[in-house]
Amino acid sequence: MARSKVSPVNGNNKHDSSLQQYNDTDGHFSLVRNFRLADLVTIMNGVCGSFSIFSSAQYLLTNDDDYLLWALGLPLAGLMFDFMDGKVARWRKSSSMLGQELDSLADLVSFGVAPAVVAFAVGLRTYLDTVCLTGFICCGLARLARFNATVALIPKDAAGKSRYFEGLPIPSSLGLVAILSYWVRRGWVEGKQGIPGGLITLWGTPGGRGDIHPVSVVFGLWAAAMVSKTLRVPKL
């Protein structure tokens, strides 16, 4: 969940002062010294996503279900930090351009890359499966970039918050993670009972690049919903 952006009225002044802040600070670790508390909370979101990715990799190497459970659970922990960073920024009455960009990048890791990698670990591993998963990540990236660029144009409520999201917000991908978690509990993973819906061959011979798990299309549809301009999701 991206932090609130500066308003177009005073945005230029805040942007200039933020840039000057980093320009005036020299020395080793100057970037770290300029972090706000909310920025550190945002980074913890990225930490959760990164550990989820590595846990998926460990599962693929060891076939140890504990790693897969960690990979599924860590994006949820990332969501907790994603909610907290905005609250901390408002509590401390401090925000920065750096924090706004950190928020989007952390969201991409935790709610874009991590769910796609865990889906690959569960069993969506064919060439066409990875095309769908790559499209999912890239649409999440595009959706976050659009939010950063156009949030000032979205109607606001009395508190100055956007009334709705254009397209599904990327943290909604935790819905897909929940489905994958259910599959894991039922043993519906590669090497056990197999992926629900099975595997079909669109062209060529079985085992080639024409193979696809039909459920991977869900990731493609989710990707389309994230970049949709007409789908408006009310903010809670």
Predicted pLDDT of residue 9: 45
- What average pLDDT does the segment 85-99 reach? 69
Across 36-40, 96-100, 148-152, 174-178, which has the greatest mean pLDDT?
174-178
Do 167 and 229 contact (CB within 8 A), yes or no? yes
Question: Where are the extended beta strands (E) located within the chain?
Answer: 164-166, 200-201, 211-212, 232-234
Whole-angstrom Cα distance, residue 207 to residue 200? 10
Residue 191 has a CB neighbour count (10 Å cut-off) of: 9
- What average pLDDT does the segment 78-104 reach? 78
How far, in whole angstroms, is CA 28 from its chain's centroid? 30
- What average pLDDT does the segment 2-26 reach? 52
Q: Does 4 have pLDDT greater than 60?
A: no
Predicted pLDDT of residue 223: 96
- What average pLDDT does the segment 41-61 reach? 96
Residue 109: DSSP 8-state: I
Q: Does 224 have pLDDT greater than 90?
A: yes
CA torsion, ordered 180, 182, 183, 185, to nearest 10 deg: 130
Q: What is the pTM of this model?
A: 0.84
Q: Three-class SS of residue 166?
A: strand
- What average pLDDT does the segment 47-62 reach? 97
